[in-house]
Chain A
Amino acid sequence: MSLLKRALVLMVAAMLLPQVQAADESDSLSVDMIVSKVNKASYYAGDDGRSDARMIIVDKDGNKQLRQFVILRKDEKDEGDQDFLVVFSRPSDVRGTVFLVNKHVDSDDDRWLYLPGLDLVKRISAGDKRTSFVGSDFFYEDVSGRNPALDTHELLQESDEAYLLKSTPNDKANVEFAYYQASINKETFLPMVVDYYNEQGEIYRKMEVVEVEEVQGIPTVMKSKILNLETDSVTYMQFRRPTYDIGVPQEVFTSRSLRNPPREWLEAKQ
């Protein structure tokens, strides 16, 4: 290659390169890819995990309620089926209450409930997942994850730090929102703010991430809150001592664990 040719190639490359990079940044991630990354970052961190969790529900008058539980999770594969075990410790009257969820992406979830005070194991019908999670402003779906396939997503805006996604439900009959908008951190792919809009186009519900920490190299939401703007109630969710990839076996997520919660996996190992 002649010097001239080299110089020419370099010149052309120099001219093209920034444009190629620019194109890469905006076009390389399709909406579907963003949504998929968000789903993974939010609900599929590591192959499994455990965390202590505490919810403080504050009503409009400042009255506080407390819910404390341990949450165990195991993924079959990323963005695939996964299992949850939620064991309550506070308030003390509900200590030992257990939820078991075998989440299926392509079919209805299996949900189980154990109430020690009534000595009762009960299957919960799949039905509606947008009901309150134990009286808080979180829905079941906020805890176990909403299937991205249920909504149609569009990228409204993109800044240096965040994507703004608008998600509209494919079937309006099963949800209470008209659409929601999520502001997604470009680095972590965690949704930092999610606003839920009603039919009148007003925000009536808002999720905010308050604190993110890196745990075993994985950006992890440590504190978040959901505001119900209709009732002026707010629920703070705090996670503590989260760990990933602990190797929790599959049999922990069967109905046997309801009456006999697996202590060794529930307790935090420091």
Chain B
Amino acid sequence: MEGFMKQSLLTFTMQKPKWVFVITLLLTAIAGAMIPSIVVDTDPENMLAEEQPARVFHNKVKERFNLYDAIVVGAVTEQGVYNPQSLQAIHQLSEGIARIEGVVVPDMMALSTVDNISQEGPGTIRFEWMMKQPPQSEQEAETIAQQVQRLPLLQETLVSGDDKATAIYVPIEDKDESYRISQEIQTLIDKLDSSDAYHITGLPVAEDTFGYQMFVQMGISAPLAALMIFVLMWLFFRNLKFVAAPMIIAMTTVIITMGALIGMGFTVHIMSSMIPIFLMPIAVVDSIHIMSEFADNYKEGQDRKTVVKKVVGHLFTPMLYTSITSAVGFFSLMLTPIPPVQVFGAYVGFGILLAFILTIAFIPAYLCALKPKALASLQSDAGKKSWLQKLLPKVGSKSLALSKLVTVGFVVVIGLSLWGITQIQINDNPVRWFKSDHEIRIADKVLNEHFAGTYNAYLVLDYEQGAAREQWLDAVNAIKHRVLKSDLLELMHTDEDLGTQLNEAIITLEDRLFEANDAQAKIIEDLLTEAEQARRSLAYFQQPQALENIEQLQQVLQDSGLVGKSNSLADVVKTVTRELKSGEQEDFVIPASQRGVAQALLQYQSSHRPQDLWHMVTKDYSSTALWLQLKSGDNQDMTRVVEYVNNYLAENPLPENVSAKWAGKSYLNMVWQDEMVAGMLGSLISAFVVVFIMMIILFRSLLFGVLAMLPLSITILFIYGLIGWVGKDYDMPIAVLSSLTLGLSIDFAIHFLERARDIYKQTKDFKLTMQRMFGEPASAISRNAIVIAVGFTPLLFAPLVPYITVGFFLATIMAASAVVTLILLPVALKATRRWAFKP
């Protein structure tokens, strides 16, 4: 099978090189034409499949409570913001922001757009804008300070506890517009006549800005990496014709793969934006192998076709296997339930197989099409030895001589790595995708120092509607009047929620009452009472006991120290009650009856912003959302909050018919992180098993299978141990590295073992085999490792942290796996040579 494939392919490409070029060019052109229709996706929400339950719930909650993603703008001044100049500036800025397209103006929160409820002399309550006009005097500014301090929903949210900062919360219709809107806000800020420091942050800005920069970065990093690889290959081979071949393979592979991805309608997510960077090194490796061997073997005057056939015949199997194993490593990512990671795995896997086919088809055609003169220049200068070729044999002999020490060394490395792995912190935070000196990171730091937190999570409490529905349906079913009964039952069959259905029943009944005679009127009035009764029992979160439970929960959250602040319906009820009563702290309480609560809330709605209430509770009062402000967007911190609340609720269970569920961006980030860690482990294990089986088949030996897996196992342990030691958080790019390690490390091991076995067959002597191994084969492996490792140094200069991470660890992986292969495998072979090289 392999032989047949090899033969027919080779015959075709060498007979008809032009056809190969035309087909390659055509494919590249078609795929390349797809690339301009690229759609970038930076929404971490898409880390979860669209139907993922936590995501579905999150979006339901957003809809239910009219919640929007918000940009947070903060003004900070050391002298305190309550002065006419600062307030004038923030007032002017708020007005400007309200005119930006895409801002949800009614829900904007700023000192000039929120309401104040206060006492105006004894027995008089006053509703007014907090700061309709900017204050003219210090005294007026001070009055605003005092008023804000009285309102728990505003204090530490709109103005910081130390009075040094004030915020504008800018809800936006579409989070994909955050970058544009934040830029427009920045333009407004630049025009302000203010010496205060202004910052813009919020998860949507971070995400969308990242998307913008990612796009830019893709245009810089990938070509720069290509250039670097080119320069390095030039340094190694000093021949343009030689270097051109792998470069063509790399470019073609990247263009066709990305074109296919975009053409298939997939969005380019942060993961898939790195596909070119992952594919380029893998794509050049095979052609370097063929070109090197060809150059080594070809002597002037020889029939090049014969030499190509010999070289390709020689390399075909190891190349096929390295390609398949690398692809398997990436394909295994499709087992991770994170769509962007799946797409990434699928297309890198595809790209690797494509690169293999291109190499096998294109390189022989390329060699056959070269002019004889150019061909001659390819020959390696056997006389001159590079530093690498001088160094490697020493490495080989030394490690063999010190095999015990090497073994001990690796055992120590493994031990240290295992310890390092136990230290790994699983954590991610989209804001940390920027470097620490990026303005978003600075804004994030400054604003979270001052305010209760710019990261949001919601704890949603739901009251089970069944009882209220039953109560009402029982009353309806008892009706004797057929028409009325069927009309009322019909109202219950709409999609609307129970609260609206009950209100519609009340409206219908009222209308009937208007035309009813006395007997009917009695029935209708009884039904109206029933409907009102059902509506009241549905309005669970209007009940004092329910609000007291929320109050306790908030206290627990505050005491935990894990949450900057929580805001709830209970806060609203207590604030309004206090102002309705005496205005004194003693009246900062939840009214004793449901009617009291309902009436206080009716007053709250008599403001400029009645819709504010519905961010906290549904219109039927059967569901309420506690808004938690967190100072950090780290998934770890969110996890702590969730665990803390879960523990509390386990010890202090909610009433039977009330359930608690989480929503909010910070929570979603935590969910996908958890899914990813579990998924990645599954991917890695399954890829490991598949590759192991393939190795046993390839070498037709269990021992060689184990040996082949040795370098990559140690490399993976080492890399993750290193991550633990360095204290780098295990985030998305890091998680993907395991597959990369698996895919690339195995290449070196396959080439090494395959060649070792070949050479042993010729020499029948282990020592001699090893000597030869540290000639050409070892230098090929090292060259490849260096090309890839150094080729990715441009990534280290990227402004986005995930690129730096990938660049750094890619280089480390290549170095580590080459070193492990070259040092450990000879030692391992030596120890097992009796079984490995059975006569």
Contacts and interface: CB of A to CB of B under 8 A. Distances in A.
B607 A65 contact: no
A115 B606 contact: no
B603 interface: yes
Nearest to A63: B619
A54 B504 CA distance: 13
Interface stretch (B535-543, B563-571, B634-642): B535-543
A135 B602 contact: yes
A31 B115 CA distance: 36
Interface in B578-615: 580-581, 591, 593-600, 602-603, 605-611, 613-614
Contact of B608 (A62, A115, A130): A130
Contact of A90 (B499, B504, B514, B532): B532
Nearest to B124: A123
Contacts of A62: 496, 500
Contact of A93 (B63, B594, B609): B594
A92 B536 contact: yes
A243 interface: no
A125 B595 contact: no
Given A120-B580, A231-B611, A132 B535 contact: no
Contacts, number: 140
Nearest to B620: A63
Interface stretch (B125-133, B348-356, B415-423, B818-826): B125-133
Contacts of A233: 611
A66 B609 CA distance: 18
Interface range on chain B (Cβ under 8 Å from partner):
35 or more
A222 to B, nearest CB: 13
Given A93-B539, A131-B608, A134-B602, A125 B614 contact: no
A65 B602 contact: no
Contacts of A90: 506, 532
A94 B598 contact: yes
Interface in A43-75: 54, 56, 59, 61-66, 68
A122 B125 contact: yes
Interface in B475-531: 496-497, 499-500, 503-504, 506-507, 510, 514
A228 B608 CA distance: 13
A56 B348 CA distance: 57
A173 B112 CA distance: 12
Given A93-B542, A132-B606, A134-B602, A123 B500 contact: no
A127 interface: yes
Contacts of A124: 124-127
Interface string A127-171: 110111111100010000000000000000000000000000000
Contacts of B372: none
Interface string A246-257: 000000000000
A93 B606 contact: no
A118 B580 contact: yes
B577 interface: yes
Interface in B295-346: none
> Residue among B496, B504, B598 with the most chain A CB within 10 A?
B598
B94 to A, nearest CB: 13
Contacts of A66: 503, 506-507
Given A90-B532, A125-B126, A127-B128, A117 B614 contact: no
A173 B132 contact: yes
A92 B534 CA distance: 11
Given A117-B595, A122-B580, A230-B105, A131 B536 contact: no
A65 B539 contact: no
Contact of B599 (A61, A63, A115): A115
Contacts of A136: 610
B619 A65 contact: yes
A133 B606 contact: yes
A102 interface: no
A64 B120 contact: no
A97 B619 contact: no
Nearest to B529: A92
Given A93-B536, A94-B595, A132 B607 contact: yes
Nearest to A130: B608
Given A94-B599, A123-B124, A173-B132, A135 B536 contact: no
Contacts of B497: 63
A97 B535 contact: no
Highest count of chain B CB atoms <10 Å: which of A64, A93, A113, A174: A93
A65 B503 contact: yes
A91 interface: yes
B602 A54 contact: no
Given A59-B619, A92-B532, A125-B126, A132 B608 contact: yes
Nearest to A68: B510
B106 interface: yes
Interface string A211-234: 000000000000000001011010
B373 interface: no
> How big is chain A's contact interface, by range?
35 or more
B123 interface: yes
Contacts of B620: 63
B99 interface: yes
B599 A117 contact: yes
Nearest to B99: A200
A62 B497 CA distance: 9
Contacts of B603: 113, 115
Given A125-B124, A132-B606, A230-B105, A118 B499 contact: no
A97 B598 CA distance: 11
Contact of B595 (A116, A134, A140, A176): A116
A132 B595 CA distance: 21
Contacts of B510: 54, 68
A122 B618 CA distance: 28
A97 B132 contact: no
Given A120-B580, A128-B129, A94 B602 contact: yes
Contact of B496 (A63, A117, A134, A140): A63
A94 B514 CA distance: 22
Contacts of B125: 113, 122-125
Chain A CB count within 10 A is highest, among B126, B504, B536, B595, for B595
Given A115-B599, A116-B595, A127-B127, A135 B613 contact: yes
B106 A231 contact: yes
Nearest to A137: B610
Nearest to B533: A92
Contacts of A118: 577, 580-581, 591, 596, 599-600
Contact of A128 (B127, B532, B539, B610): B127
* A121, A125, A228, A233: most-surrounded residue (chain B CB, <10 A): A125
B188 to A, nearest CB: 16
B831 to A, nearest CB: 72
A117 B503 contact: no
A121 B120 CA distance: 15
A174 B63 CA distance: 33
A182 B610 CA distance: 25
A150 to B, nearest CB: 16
Interface in A188-204: 199-200
Contact of B128 (A56, A128, A200): A128
Interface in B83-131: 99, 105-106, 115, 120, 123-129
Closest 6 CB pairs of A and B: A135-B605, A93-B598, A117-B595, A125-B126, A117-B596, A132-B610
Given A122-B580, A128-B608, A132-B610, 19 more contacts: A59-B614, A63-B500, A63-B620, A68-B510, A90-B532, A93-B598, A97-B602, A115-B599, A115-B603, A117-B591, A117-B594, A117-B599, A117-B600, A118-B600, A125-B125, A125-B128, A127-B127, A134-B605, A176-B608
12 contacts: A65-B619, A66-B503, A91-B532, A92-B532, A94-B602, A115-B603, A117-B591, A118-B577, A125-B124, A130-B608, A132-B607, A135-B610
Interface of A: 54, 56, 59, 61-66, 68, 90-94, 97, 113, 115-118, 120-125, 127-128, 130-136, 140, 173-174, 176, 199-200, 228, 230-231, 233, 240
